[in-house]
């Protein structure tokens, strides 16, 4: 299976993959069927990607994770699964991407929507993509969130002193003109905040029972080598790479029954 380790860690049905133009998207074998990771694997994956991660977040983290694996001697494990790799092992494009929320007025007389606040830390949930439709009238403001999950709430008209929140993002908004009716679409992609060192630190707190299930206690390879790297290597790249590969090996065993 090409892009084998990346596909295992992504763990989403290949038949449902978005187009290649989607954010940080890479090829996934169309025949791949997601593995049921309920239990200890979900405990790890929820830290790696977020408890309710969307495709953008998974792609973002996998750019980082695969770059680490290919930059170290751990690459040999990736290639042992299958040497057919179609992606570039770099995460540089993540740095230059234009993250944030952007507003487009779709109805009404000219009005300016002003964002307030600071971006929320989205990593725990793992949701990068957001879209809202906002209907403004002199009497009320209705905010309909379409992505990530449908939600609707009515507010008083926003002011600079009392902005209307955009749930899940940390941002709010106010308008320069609350008198006339208008409609806006607000959408965008927010950037994860956790560094890889923070992710490793959280993984170290998941508890010994989970780590035993991931790495085992025996001397069978590759788990003993990966366990030693996790426990003893001083560099974050090797610690993170070890647990990523151990998860991939466990998922491969589940996939093959």
Q: What integer pLDDT is reported at residue 4 of this predicted model?
A: 98
Please indicate, yes or no, whether residues 69 and 142 belong to a single structural domain of this protein: no
Please indicate, yes or no, whether residues 15 and 89 belong to a single structural domain of this protein: yes
Q: What integer pLDDT is reported at residue 207 of this predicted model?
A: 96
Domain boundary, last residue among 174, 189, 204: 189
Whole-angstrom Cα Rg for the chain:
22
Computed over every residue of the chain, the mean pLDDT equals 94
Please indicate, yes or no, whether residues 172 and 104 belong to a single structural domain of this protein: yes
pLDDT (average), residues 222-232: 97
Give me the domain span that covers residue 52. Answer: 4-94+193-255
Please indicate, yes or no, whether residues 119 and 55 belong to a single structural domain of this protein: no
Please indicate, yes or no, whether residues 204 and 81 belong to a single structural domain of this protein: yes
Please indicate, yes or no, whether residues 104 and 178 belong to a single structural domain of this protein: yes
Cis status of the peptide bond prior to 148, with omega within 30 of 0: yes
Q: What integer pLDDT is reported at residue 179 of this predicted model?
A: 65
Please indicate, yes or no, whether residues 242 and 126 belong to a single structural domain of this protein: no
Q: Domain count of the chain?
A: 2
Cα–Cα distance, 115 to 237 (Å, whole number): 37
Please indicate, yes or no, whether residues 70 and 110 belong to a single structural domain of this protein: no
Domain boundary, last residue among 161, 189, 217: 189
More confident call, 190 vs 159? 190
Q: What integer pLDDT is reported at residue 90 of this predicted model?
A: 84
Cα–Cα distance, 162 to 28 (Å, whole number): 46
Can you read off the two tokens belonging to residue 163? 């902005």
Please indicate, yes or no, whether residues 68 and 32 belong to a single structural domain of this protein: yes
Give 150-160 pLDDT, tens digit per residue. Answer: 999 998 877 66
Cβ-proximal residues to 53 (8 Å cutoff; 6+ apart), any chain = 125, 126, 127
pLDDT of 112 over the 90 cut: no
Q: What integer pLDDT is reported at residue 151 of this predicted model?
A: 92
Please indicate, yes or no, whether residues 180 and 105 belong to a single structural domain of this protein: yes
pLDDT of 1 over the 70 cut: yes
Cα–Cα distance, 207 to 248 (Å, whole number): 19
Please indicate, yes or no, whether residues 23 and 73 belong to a single structural domain of this protein: yes
| pLDDT band for position 178 (cuts 50, 70, 90) | low
pTM for the whole structure: 0.94
Give 61-103 pLDDT, tens digit per residue. Answer: 999 999 999 999 999 999 999 999 999 888 888 999 999 999 9
Please indicate, yes or no, whether residues 109 and 173 belong to a single structural domain of this protein: yes
């Amino acid at each position: 299976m090409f892009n084998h380790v990346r596909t295992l860690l992504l763990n989403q049905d290949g038949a449902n993959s978005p187009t290649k133009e989607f954010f940080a998207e890479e090829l996934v074998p169309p025949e791949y069927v997601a593995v049921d990771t309920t239990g200890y694997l979900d405990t790890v994956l929820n830290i790696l990607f977020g408890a309710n991660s969307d495709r953008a977040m998974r792609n973002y983290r996998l750019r980082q994770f695969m770059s680490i694996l290919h930059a170290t001697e751990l690459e040999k494990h990736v290639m042992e699964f299958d040497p057919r790799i179609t992606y570039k092992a770099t995460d540089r494009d993540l740095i230059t991407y234009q993250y944030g929320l952007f507003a487009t007025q779709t109805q009404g007389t000219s009005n300016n929507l002003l964002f307030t606040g600071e971006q929320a830390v989205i990593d725990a949930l793992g949701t990068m993509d957001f879209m809202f439709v906002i209907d403004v009238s002199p009497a009320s403001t209705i905010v309909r969130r379409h992505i990530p999950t449908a939600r609707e709430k009515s507010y008083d008209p926003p002011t600079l002193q009392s902005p209307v929140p955009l749930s899940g993002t940390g941002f709010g908004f106010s308008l320069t003109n609350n008198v006339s009716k208008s409609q806006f679409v607000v959408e965008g992609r927010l950037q994860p905040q956790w560094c890889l060192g923070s992710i490793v630190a959280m993984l170290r707190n998941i508890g010994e029972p989970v780590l035993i299930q991931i790495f085992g206690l025996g001397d069978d390879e590759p788990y003993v080598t990966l366990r030693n790297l996790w426990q003893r290597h001083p560099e974050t790249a090797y610690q993170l790479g070890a647990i990523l590969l151990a998860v991939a090996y466990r998922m491969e065993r589940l996939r093959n029954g």
